[in-house]
Every structure is written in C-alpha cells, then in structure tokens.
Structure 1
Amino acid sequence: MSVRPSLDDLLDGLRVVSIPLRVRFRGVEHREAALIHGPKGWGEFAPFLEYEPAEASRWLAAAIEAAHVGWPDPLRAEIPCNATVPAVTAAEVPQVIARFDGCRAAKVKVAERGQSLADDVERVAAVRDVMGQGGAVRLDANGGWSVDQAVDAITRLAPFGLEYVEQPCATVEELRAVRTALQRNGIDVPIAADESIRKAEDPLRVAREGAADLVVVKVAPLGGVARALEVVAECGLPAVVSSALDTSVGIRAGVALAAALPELPHACGLGTVGLLAGDVTTEPLVPVGGDVPVRPVDVDETLLDEHAAPEDRQDWWRDRVRAAWARL
C-alpha cells in the first residue's frame, strides 16, 4: 500500500474496546475492536476473531487508509439505510426494528444454524408485518443453504415480497445454480453476493460468471474505500454498502464508500451501531429518519476508557495487529 506507517506508530496509539451487544450476533455477546489514530482521524481494525492474518491484513489496510490517507469527496450528504434483524424470534422483531429510526428497508438473517425454515418464515412474516407493504425486505443467509435448500426456501419466502436474497449459498457455482433455478421457475427474486466478494481471491468472478444480480461490499474486508470503489466499478453491478458490526468509527468508512459511489440504488447496511449497547462517541453514527448523515465521528476518550477491553484481550489484539501488519 502507498502509505504504510510503522508498526510502532500503529501500536503506540492503539485502543482496544469491548462493547456489549443488545442481541447475540455471530455467536458473540461483545464486539471487540482495535482503533488506531492518525493524521486523518481514527480507523477501526476489527476482523472477526476466526480470521487469519492474511485476511485480517485487508482490514488493517482499511483502518490505515481511514487514519492516514483519507477518502474521496462525497457525492451525497446522507445514506439511506436498512434495519438489521438478527435470527431472533418473531416476537422480538418489533423491538429490534424500532432501534432503526425511520428505516424503510430491513435485512433479515435466515439459515441460522440450529434453526429451521419454519423459524425463518415466522421471522420474515413478522418483519413484513412491521415494515408494511411499502417497506423493502431483504434476506441474508450467509451461505448457509445448499442449492436445493436455497431454491426451496426462497420459493417459500418469495410471497413476502423480497427485494433480494444475499449469499444464499457459499460458492459462486452454487449462487449461479440458484439464480438459474429461480429464473427457470419464474421466481423473481434477485441474488446478491457478499462473501463471494469480500472473502474471495477474485471478487470479480461473481459478475463474470453471471452468479449475482448485485454485489454487497464492505470497506474493511476489501482493504479500504479506494479498493472497494474499484471492485464495484469492475463488477459493473448495482452495489449495496454494508458493515461488519462496527463502532461508529468503522461505520464512517462505510458511509464514505456509499457517499462516493456514482450510483446508490439500494439502502445500505450501515445502521448496525443500533445493535451495540455502547459506542466510542457521544454522537453515534445511526440512521435518523432512515438515513445516516455523512459527517465526522468524534471519538470520546472517556468512552474509550469505559469500554476498554481487559488487558489480556488488548495484548491479543496487539499481537493480531503485528501479524496483519506483516502481511500488508
């Protein structure tokens, strides 16, 4: 990368936080993140705990970009956002959506391990009921279905009026097979690629092989805003910008990407600060009337201290920064 601060510079100002979640998400009840400071402000390094150094290095590159390089000028002043509904019970759906002020779209987690399609149907039905007929409802399976399961589930869920289904299966070949089967069966539900973009060695393959109708892009897994803009341009498909359960610092990078895209046809998944029971700023970057404003995030030192991770976890994250930095 063109700007590569020294490892000592990164570690000197590193702050590691552990923020409780309102709802269990991805199997955890606290979100840990390492924050780095530079001349352009704060950057967030928070790859999920299971990610190895090579993958985590892209997240570090994105944090360095935020803190030391900066982003393109915005083309818009606010970003429409979706609510995010984890794999909760149908009864919990109204209180979850209520945390996302004015959002006119909702992304619903489905294909959760240990749950059934009946659970998904009940959850999606509850979301549709809360959102009304005018709201957009999209699903995210995180690659949890086989091709047959995906075709069956999407066929069952399509009557709820789906905007699209994100990553129904794990591989590009499976995405293409699902998309083809749905078209053959007259099921008009677009397919979006997420993991097949952000975790792929070749993020353009989904577009090249006709495996998706749109792409979901996250700044950190792609290595920063500049690289994400290149991926979207090269894919040539409509893009949705999403987050990775970030603090407001991480969300600000996603907002920068969404603000810089030439076109933004869909609401973005940048409202997930509402899933955290805390933040690193007194003015969290959350949807207001359904939109997240494009504005700076002022990190509060008192909140960094309040949410400071235990010493052993700080050491663990410092070691992780060292390993990721070595792979830049």
Structure 2
Amino acid sequence: MAKIEKNVPTMEKEPELLNVLEVDGVPLPVLSKEWWDKICNFQAKPDDLILATYPKSGTHWMQEILDMIQNNGDVEKCKTDHSLHRHPFLELKFPHKEKPDLEIALEMSSPRLIKTHLPSHLIPPSIWKENCKIVYVARNPKDCLVSYYHFHRMASFLPDLQNLEEFYEKFILGKVLYGSWFDHVKGWWAAKDTHRILYLFYEDIKKNPKHEIHKVLEFLDKTVSEDVVNKIVHHTSFDVMKDNPMANHTAVPSHIFNHSISKFMRKGMPGDWKNHFTVAMNENFDKHYEKKMARSTLNFCPDI
C-alpha cells in the first residue's frame, strides 16, 4: 500500500483549482486521500489500453495516434470531441470538467483508452492483474523540462514559477508534480520486463513516425492498410494537430489554458532545450543525469 505522507500546500495559486497529495514521496494532483483510495481501487478490464507518460513527454501526441488506430484512420471520428474529453486520465480532475476523469472512465464502454502520468509503482494493482496492454512514451529530460515549464506558465491550475531557473532546480530534485523524471522513466523501463508494455521514445516517433506506428500496430495486434498508416502519420503530425481545434486544446476555456502566454502545442521539436539552457545549466544537468542514470540501460537522444 502506498504511503500517503501529507497534504502539500500549493504554491501561491487558487487552492480550489489545485490540490497536491504526496504519495510515497511523489507529489500528485489528487483531490484527497479518499480520492486516492478510489484511484488505487480502480477496476481495470482486460481490454483496457493504458497510455502512460511523464508529463510533457508526448501524451497528447500518442493519444491521437492510438485514437486514430482504434478508429481505423477515421479522422472525423477522432474529431467528435475535444481530446481532453475523448480519453480520461486516471488521476486528474480538470477545473473545467464537472467530475473527475476517473468517474468518466468508469462510465465508458469497452474498449477503453485511459491515460496516466503515474509512476509504475503507483499504478492501480488491477491494471497489472488484468494484464492490460500499456504504451509508455519517454522523452529527453531537457526538452521535457522546458516543455513542462512552459505548460506551468499557461495552465492556471499549476503553481506559478518565477523563471526557468527556478523550475530547473525543482525538476532536477523531483519537486514537481509526478516527482522525479529519472525515477519515472527507470521505473517503467524495469516494469516492461514483466508486463505487457511497449516502451517508445518521443524522438524516435519524431524521426520516423511510420516505423513507430507500425510498432504500435504490432503491439496491439492490429492490422490496417498502408494508406491508413499514412493517414495516421499525416493527421498526427505537429502542424496538422496544431491547426485542429479538437487536438490543440484551444477549446479549453482560456482561464484554464491561457494560450496568449504559451501555446499548448508550442514547438514539438527535439533539441529546443538548447534555446533555453545556459552552458552552466547544461553542464550541471549532465552531471546529475550521469549520477541518476548510471546503472540504467536507457539511452536518450538530445536532439534528432
């Protein structure tokens, strides 16, 4: 059973919009201890498909790919509702929604696509018990950090941060929502050896989306024509998604996601960290990375 240590006070932002519960040392945006118990007791189904990521690692992108696959490349079916409404998060309650995503998931018919940012050791036990298929996407930590920082700037329900340097320090120490990036990617990397997990990399999808989509299709035991694969590649490209109001989050109320501060779909290009990190920040990050990842077989591309 996960240890719930304390309710962590949020940083200078409307408390009714953000509640942080520390579970096993991991800060989570969970409504309450009682709600965490409901998450832990979530009853998975064998045909559930779980999309797991650390925040800002390609969740939204992979959701669109999986949605297109499930709908056999039918673009219009993937535009029936805003992406935040099509597939729920296990643990989140968005301020503009009437009820938590968990309740939405419980009301969904099968097969369900359910998203989560939870680290592997905090995943509801029923997901392992039912042997659900899980797609995990990992992203280079430097780009992840920069993207996460800009998301904090535009998402009103997240803590205010003074600057990138402040967020950089918190990210390295794992003092951000969902905790340490290092622990997250390593935990899921280890879990793939004993569970049905397809572990993908953001940079690989960017470099060769068709190849990675074929990996997903094989993992899901799904067969579609090459024309459908090409359609999925096109529909889920950054430029097309950025112009799709059902995918770019512009349909979310502006007091929740303020696109005048930063776009939700900002750049999507590996290597953007080079435009934000100072030489000192980069050298310090590399030293920390070497220490935290010393015994891991994981390798990440700094760009493509």
Q: Scaled by the length of structure 1, what TM-score is found? A: 0.28
TM-score w.r.t. the length of structure 2 is 0.29
More strand by share: 1
